[in-house]
Structure 1
Amino acid sequence: MTNKPSTPEPEVLQPQQCWELMRGVSVGRLAVWVLDHPDIFPINYKVDHGTLVFRTAEGTKLHSALGETPVALEADGVNPDTGVAWSVVVKGHAVAIKLTQEVLDTVGLLLFPWQAGRKDHFVRIVPTSITGRRFTVTPPLTWWSPLDDATRAGLE
């Protein structure tokens, strides 16, 4: 028998729930493959008809995102009042938005990057999958394990 409190299981979110959560935030982390290693870039994005759109400048992020390798975008949030957090991952392919009408359509998304500078390239992530989880943030004291005492004793 154990004295540890039970931890609620994470809730697996349906795609519609994932999209709703993604619409509620504007910052995520874009994972791309750069030459021989993965890299992650923070981006501002908007949900647009089942896709994600972001603006960026010329550089590593743009060229890696538009390469042959799929990309992933992760966004998350937490309600400080309830302690309920969520995390959503979108996987897919990034494509440049080049047609004049498509670029004009993205302007209506009010996509404003946080970092100053020219962000002339519009990129759309076309998802192949979207997955998410919702879970209660566990108080740090419930993370205790016998190894925690052993580590602390070794440092004293």
Structure 2
Amino acid sequence: MTMPTENPMKILTESECWERLDDLEFGRMAYHLADEVHISPVNYAVDGGRIIFRTAEGSKLLGVVMNEDVAFEIDRIHTDDETAWSVIARGRAEILEGQDARDTDNLRLRPWVSTDKFNVVAITVHELSGRQFHLARPWRHMVPGQA
């Protein structure tokens, strides 16, 4: 098996991270609730330097109310060229109300599941990082029967 001569990891620029966030619409938000850290999937949209999503009453909303410090992550694996990437955003979440919430109506932000989600949450991103990886996956190159 030959290993690539180039670096198997590339640091993404802030611009590349925002492009990837803007291209997708499904990610995971990590938040604090009491003494635990939770991770929940959300569909989202990007608006300026913010990540916007809708949620119903429940643990995500309560977590944001109790502690605004959150993280958000998206990732992809491209099996055709054996690369993967991940973007992580850290920031402050807040519930939008009134005109601020109505201003998000024109974003491509609709619930994927047919449940009522009247609460609009905005994560103002303070830190953004991303990496792209070349996947070695040595098991794909192993010959059956050989150690």
Q: CA deviation at 1:139?
A: 1.8
Paired residue for 1:110, among 108, 111, 120?
A: 108
Corresponding position of 1:153: none
Output the CA distance in 1 between the equivalents of 2:90 and 2:66: 14
Bigger shift: residues 21-30 or 75-84:
75-84
In the alignment of these two chains, the number of paired residues is: 142
Q: CA deviation at 1:140?
A: 4.0
Change over 3 Å in CA distance of 1:83–1:31 after alignment to 2: same
Change over 3 Å in CA distance of 1:57–1:137 after alignment to 2: same
Corresponding position of 2:20: 21
Output the CA distance in 1 between the equivalents of 2:89 and 2:141: 29
1:38 aligns with 2:5: no
Q: Deviations over 1:20-53 (max 9, x none)?
A: 0111111101101111111100000101011100
**One-letter amino acid matched to 1:78:** I
Corresponding position of 2:9: 10
Q: CA deviation at 1:132?
A: 0.4
Output the CA distance in 2 between the equivalents of 1:60 and 1:143: 44
Q: Is the 8 A contact 1:18 1:88 kept in 2?
A: yes
1:52 aligns with 2:51: yes
Output the CA distance in 2 between the equivalents of 1:80 and 1:142: 12
For normalisation by structure 1, the TM-score amounts to 0.82
Q: CA deviation at 1:6?
A: 5.2
- For the aligned residue pairs, the C-alpha RMSD in angstroms reads 2.1
Say which SS state the counterpart of residue 27 (structure 2) adopts: strand
Corresponding position of 2:126: 128
Identity of aligned residues (%): 34
**One-letter amino acid matched to 1:136:** H
For normalisation by structure 2, the TM-score amounts to 0.87
1:78 aligns with 2:77: yes
Q: Is the 8 A contact 1:4 1:142 kept in 2?
A: no
